[in-house]
Structure 1
Amino acid sequence: MARVLFSGGKDSALSALLLEPFYDVTLVSGTFGIRDTAAEGRAAAEALGLPFEAVELDREVAEAAVERMVADGYPSGGIQLVHEHALETVAETADVVADGTRRDDRAPTVDRPLAQSIEDRFGVDYVAPLSGYGRGAVDDLVERELSVETGPSESIPKADYETELRALLAGEHGPSAVDEVFPDHEQSRVVGRR
């Protein structure tokens, strides 16, 4: 069984579709219990016709990620910390663990030493189906295979780390901290297959 880290967005959904001919795929969203994001992940998984599971992540990791983001003034390091924790958590119960990281992503990324470390420590295979694809190629495949909604991060409900990290950041450092740390960007949410 391949357990794919799933935000409900186009990258993780496309990764799942690429793995589907070869594995029994389960979509897995991690939650810190800060905001209930499982419903968004479940809805996106249902739209894809794939099984879904929510897993509990360690809230201390979210807190450390928020402090790192505040110290850095941008989210990359904190998101990387959370992604590694999520991979390790899911690897505990998988034969194959996968994600939607692309070749040109800045964060999160999984380099070769990290991938090998996860494989060795947990006895799993780590698979990154989009690691050879740039953003343009991913967008082309998504256009052919998925129906998605896009919009500003705060307006697209998803089952991703960013949603909970934004809420924790606002709660601990005030709403203005979110705008100071997170740049404006578009998010996607999968609403079905084409």
Structure 2
Amino acid sequence: MELALCYSGGKDSTLAALFLDSFYDVRLVTGRFGVTDDWEHAAAAAERVGYPFEAVDLDRSVAEAAAERMLDDGYPRNGIQQVHEHALERAADLDVDAVADGTRRDDRVPTISRAQAQSLEDRHGVDYLSPLAGLGRHAVDRLVAETLDVQTGPSESIPKGDYEAELRALIAAEAGDDAVASVFPDHEQSYVRGVRSDGDADTGA
């Protein structure tokens, strides 16, 4: 069975791929708006972890509307949710049996409700899976430490393989770099450098 997993190159979406690998032919999919080439970071991570990769074109008007909403709100949550839902719709349009993402139990955004999942499945004839939905942050971190080589750090210093970099670029073009810093709070981000071999030690990098 073919599955398209919305992929950022980070630890959560990569761990989700490992969970699903036993049951599906996993294809890692990153949406791009054509604002920047940061999606290439996700492509590089996908190659390192050994999964097929596809970049899917998203509707730029969705990114522009999301950026405007973030500026109006003063925080990114609603805009990120809007873009994630659009990316899942695009993934569901592919020739696949299922779509998935790396959302966790304690994520505030993005989240997919039961009603949204059912609607996506009914309209596209696919299954929606969220394999990390039962896992909290500590469980994810422990599993990642055992299986993945991950670079972590402040969001500004870590490669961004998903649409966040493009949204930041749109906000910067509209309202300047200070607006980007105001909308996006400091947070830790991850970028996957590979899958650990048996016996590899966790360097904490």
Letter in 1 for 2:45: A
Structure 1 alignment gaps of length 5 or more:
none
Structure 1 residue runs of 4+, over 6 Å off? Answer: none
Provide the rounded CA distance (Å) in 2 between the counterparts of 1:158 and 1:52: 16
Percent of aligned pairs with the same residue? 64
Provide the rounded CA distance (Å) in 2 between the counterparts of 1:2 and 1:187: 25
In the alignment, which residue of structure 2 is the partner of 1:144?
A: 146
In the alignment, which residue of structure 2 is the partner of 1:85?
A: 86
Tell me the C-alpha RMSD between the 2 structures.
0.7
Provide the rounded CA distance (Å) in 1 between the counterparts of 2:167 and 2:97: 28
In the alignment, which residue of structure 2 is the partner of 1:68?
A: 69
Provide the rounded CA distance (Å) in 2 between the counterparts of 1:110 and 1:99: 10
Larger-Rg structure: 2
Provide the rounded CA distance (Å) in 2 between the counterparts of 1:39 and 1:90: 18
Structure 2 alignment gaps of length 5 or more:
197-205
* Residue 180 (structure 1) aligned to one of 167, 179, 182: 182
Q: 2:96 matched to 1:115?
A: no
Deviation per residue, 1:35-92 (Å, 9 max, x gap): 0023211110011011111000000000110111111110000000000000001101
Provide the rounded CA distance (Å) in 1 between the counterparts of 2:195 and 2:79: 32
Deviation per residue, 1:140-162 (Å, 9 max, x gap): 11001111001111211121121
Q: TM-score, normalised by structure 1?
A: 0.98
In the alignment, which residue of structure 2 is the partner of 1:8?
A: 9
In the alignment, which residue of structure 1 is the partner of 2:24?
A: 23
In the alignment, which residue of structure 2 is the partner of 1:127?
A: 129
Q: TM-score, normalised by structure 2?
A: 0.93
In the alignment, which residue of structure 1 is the partner of 2:158?
A: 156
Letter in 2 for 1:107: V
